[in-house]
């Protein structure tokens, strides 16, 4: 009975807009609640795109601080807060990647090492797990334009419309990029699997 009467914390009931307003008014708890709600999405996206946890953390922090500084930029009628945050994260990420052009196609050495690991001992691993590793490594081989579509559509399970809003492109472009990304991924993985199968034991 007492459990039923206990009130939920206001952060869990409030909408994004209410929390945003409270955060702007200086409520730290509202800001923390917004971070709990959307921080994971922003961090995962930046982590998967950059392959660097410290870069992902830095960009995530900048994105949420933008919530406090770029007040007039967010328009709730044009899209959800998560979409807006992802859009900011993407712009900051691209700026970061432009500074490190070498990182565009050569990052996540750990994943490559894992992939090499699977090559070394495929018999010790389940085929499924091997495929997951291979896809993860294959994703890192994709160009960022295609990779971000795979992350948002396939991994985050966002709708095409949401992704189109984040990338600021038409929905048709999202579809075609995803199609191209999957075809390229399948090609990369097919080659990897063929290499693995062809290796002498």
Partner 1 sequence: MTDEQLDEVLEELGREHRAISAPDSLQRVLYTAAESRKSASGKPRLQFPLAWVAVAILLVVVTVAGAIWRSIQTHQPQTQQAHSGPAPKVSPRPRQSSPVATPRSVGPKAERVRAAVKARAPLRPSSPPDAPTPSSLDTFVPLPASERLPTAAELSIVRIRLRGSDLQQYGLQTPADALAQTMLAEFAVGEDGLPRAIRIVR
Q: Please report, as ranges, the residues that interact with partner 1 according to CB under 8 A.
A: 23-32, 35-36, 39-40, 42-44, 47-48, 57, 60-61, 64-65, 68, 128, 131-132, 134-136, 139, 150-151, 154-157, 182, 185-186, 189-190, 193
Tell me, rounded to whole angstroms, the distance of Cα 153 from its chain centroid.
10
- State which residue, 12 or 77, has the beta carbon closest to partner 1: 12
- State which residue, 146 or 151, has the beta carbon closest to partner 1: 151
Residue pair 139/186 in contact (Cβ under 8 Å)? The answer is no
CB of 136 to partner 1, least distance (A): 6
CB of 40 to partner 1, least distance (A): 5
The token duo for 174 is: 């999202």
CB of 88 to partner 1, least distance (A): 14
CB of 116 to partner 1, least distance (A): 19
Other Cβ atoms within 10 Å of 118 Cβ, number: 20
> Which residues does 179 contact at the CB level (< 8 Å), separation at least 6?
none
- State which residue, 37 or 91, has the beta carbon closest to partner 1: 37
- Using CA atoms, how far residue 108 sits from 30, 59, 104, 122, 131, in Å, is 34, 17, 10, 21, 17
- State which residue, 31 or 167, has the beta carbon closest to partner 1: 31
CB of 121 to partner 1, least distance (A): 20
The widest CA-to-CA distance across the chain, in whole angstroms, is: 67
- State which residue, 31 or 86, has the beta carbon closest to partner 1: 31
3-state SS, residue 88: helix
């Amino acid at each position: 009975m007492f459990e039923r009467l206990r009130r939920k914390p206001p952060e869990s009931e409030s909408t994004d807009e209410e929390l945003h307003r409270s955060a702007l008014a200086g409520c730290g708890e509202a800001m923390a609640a917004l971070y709990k709600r959307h921080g994971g999405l922003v961090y995962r996206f930046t982590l998967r795109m950059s392959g660097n946890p410290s870069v992902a953390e830095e960009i995530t922090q900048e994105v949420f601080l933008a919530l406090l500084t770029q007040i007039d930029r967010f328009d709730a009628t044009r899209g959800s807060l998560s979409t807006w945050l992802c859009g900011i994260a993407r712009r900051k990420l691209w700026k970061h990647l432009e500074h490190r052009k070498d990182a565009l196609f050569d990052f996540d050495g750990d994943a490559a090492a894992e992939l090499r690991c699977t090559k070394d001992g495929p018999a010790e691993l389940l085929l499924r797990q091997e495929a997951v590793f291979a896809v993860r490594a294959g994703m890192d081989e994709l160009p960022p334009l295609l990779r971000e579509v795979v992350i948002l559509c396939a991994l985050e399970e966002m709708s095409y419309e949401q992704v189109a809003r984040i990338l600021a492109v038409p929905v048709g472009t999202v579809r075609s990029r995803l199609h191209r990304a999957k075809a390229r991924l399948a090609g990369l993985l097919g080659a990897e699997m063929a290499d693995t199968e062809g290796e002498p034991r």
